[in-house]
Amino acid sequence: MDKKLLVTTFTLTGSIIGAGILGLPYVFAKSGFLIGLFWLVVLGAVMIFVNLSLGEIALRTRGIHQLSGYAKKYLGKWGGRIMFSAMIFGIYSALLAYLIGEGESFSKIIPGNIPPVIFGIMFWLAMTLLLKEGLKGLKKIEMWGVIGIIGIVLGIFVKFLPSVKPENLMTWNSANFAVPIGVVMFALLGFTSIPELRREIKGKEGLLKKAIIIGTLIPIILYILFSIIFIGILGKEINQVATLSLGPFATILGIFTMLTSYFVLSFSLKNTFKYDMKTSDRKTFIFASVVPLFLYLLVTKFNIMGFALVLGLGGVVSGGITGILILLMAKKAKSNTRNGKNPEIKVPINWFLIIILSLIFIAGIVLQILG
């Protein structure tokens, strides 16, 4: 496989696989595995389409932009502001979930009864220092982080497969049909990394379509294998952070998944303020690094919300609004060409498709909030 294709694919995979994978077994246990699998396949197909649409937008547009910059260019100031708000809400929700999850995971495997918040702060400090390495640090984290994630998931699958009870995988609870939507959507989000993919693949833009498809499919396959093991063995007795239910080996997976995604999202957040909002380095540092820590300490101190709720709200609100805006941008960007030539990705888009997919996103937001 081409090195640039491999690095770019892993950047997307690493940004998608985060805390979401750890919340999937918990919500699947509530709805039944078959319902969870249904939503994973349906929303996975939707996300591949939207990711490709965003890839086409990036290829049609000159200059360095993040999502809010693209929205402002193609949808005007209102589009830029809504995109910025949705993206910031989603990223901060994700970073908050990762800090909660990492704190609990390290506390579980390291003896000494040290409070999870201490480990959360230590993880935050390590990621903040690594963020200074920029794109070089991103490539390093993604390559080894994703290899680690794939290896551990496959290892868990092989090790625990003989213990799976098939009857646990045939469950269907219609009363909780909508429960998995938010967490599934969160688990599939990788929009913010695609502008970075455009930079990483520079010079070989023809590989971007393949990188986006493979980079999105890898998480879906791993999610299915991961959920089969946890639901198949534990049934309904699953922790909100699933890996805490199967001991140290599984917990290490949780640490790896959240580590890679935390870094990618922090990197994207930093570039959003730097390139799209034109903020100073000092303010960028505060928004990209200090604010997530403040939110974590606030939520931990007052026990405002749990891991699964953070994932669900972050997934449907940010993912739904961002997805709708990307579809609108893709329609508008069709008339734009970079350097007078057609882009390497062409996604069919029309108003009928935009309306259907937008209704799916809106339904997800409504069902999550009402639920």
* Mean pLDDT of each 10-residue bin along the chain, 371 residues long: 82 82 90 94 95 91 82 91 90 89 89 89 89 60 73 87 92 89 90 84 84 94 93 87 78 78 79 79 87 92 77 87 94 74 81 93 84 64
**Ramachandran bin of 115, using left for φ above 0, alpha for ψ from -120 to 50, beta for the remaining angles:** beta
> How far is residue 103's CA from residue 170's CA, in Å, rounded to a whole number?
33
Architecture of domain 3-370: Up-down Bundle (1.20)
Distance of CA 296 to the CA centre of its chain: 18
Domain boundaries, the chain: 3-370
Evaluate whether 56 touches 194 at the Cβ level (below 8 Å): no
Question: What are the CA-CA distances from residue 197 to residues 6, 15, 50, 78, 182 (Å)?
Answer: 11, 11, 15, 26, 25
**Cβ distance 178 to 368 under 8 Å?**
yes
Query: 113-120 long-range contacts, Cβ below 8 Å, gap at least 24?
Result: 116/300, 117/296, 117/297, 117/300, 120/296, 120/300
CA distance 35 to 181: 10
Q: What are phi and psi of 341, to 5 degrees?
A: -125, 160
Confidence at residue 111, expressed as pLDDT on a 0 to 100 scale:
82
CA dihedral defined by 228, 229, 233, 236, rounded to 10 degrees?
Answer: -60
Distance CA 344, CA 324 (A): 23
**CA–CA separation, 296 vs 298, rounded Å?**
5
What pLDDT was estimated at residue 335?
78
pLDDT one-digit tens code per residue, 193-248: 888 888 888 878 888 999 999 999 999 999 999 999 999 998 888 888 887 877 77
pLDDT score, position 371: 64
